[in-house]
Every structure is written in structure tokens, then in C-alpha cells.
Amino acid sequence: MRHEGLPVSQASAAFGLSRPAYYQAQFAFLREGLPGLTPKKRGRRGGHKLTEEVVEFVVQEQIKESYIGASELAARVAGRFGVKVHPRSVERALVRLKKIPV
């Protein structure tokens, strides 16, 4: 569009884009460069149910009983906080904690 001097409507139509899609792509490119045009993961980032308070509870429960599994920890979180979490989320949270230098 810039080099050929075409209107945005013609340039976007030539590539099968709507004008709003063209402007969104242009904004993403100007903001982030070429990586801005690649698809991003959608949805929430991180465990929104596993707040600091919940993770601290999980850690304390695991300290009390080192043999306890993720399924039991998830059940205890549900009983204590009323939040249903997947056992795999509990495992990932514990792994993340071990990677953080103290």
C-alpha cells in the first residue's frame, strides 16, 4: 500500500483482508515487528485459581505430609477454599516454586 500508493481498501482486498484486519495487522507490526503478526495464545495466563494463599496452603500441607499426592492436595484446596483445581495444576505450581531461587 505504501509503495504502490493504493488505498487501504484496495490493498486489503488484494490480500483478502478487511480494512479493520489490515489496520490491526499494521498496528501489531508497528508495535512488535514481525513477531507481532504471529498468532498468540488465547485465554488466561497462569493459574488464576492458585492464588498465593492457596499455593502457600498446598506447600504447608505437603510439608506436614510429604507423601501426599496432587489429587489429595486438590481435594483439600476444594474443601478449604471452595475452589476446584485440577491435580495437574497443583503439580505445576509446586514445580514452579522449586525453580524459584530462595
**What count of residues does the chain have?**
102
User: Residue 32: its pLDDT value, please?
Assistant: 93
Terminal alpha carbon distance of the chain: 53
**Residues 74, 52: Cα–Cα separation, whole Å:** 15
Residue with cell 507490526: 29
Provide the residue-wise pLDDT of the chain in tens; the chain has 102 residues: 676 788 888 888 888 889 999 899 889 999 999 999 998 888 877 678 989 999 999 999 999 998 899 999 999 999 999 999 999 999 999 998 886 654
- The set of cell numbers assigned to 11 is 490493498
- The set of cell numbers assigned to 19 is 480494512
User: Residue 43: its pLDDT value, please?
Assistant: 80
Residue with cell 504471529: 38
Residue with cell 502457600: 56
User: Residue 102: its pLDDT value, please?
Assistant: 47
Please give the angle made by the CA atoms of 78, 62 and 67, to the nearest 5 degrees: 110
**Residues 34, 29: Cα–Cα separation, whole Å:** 6
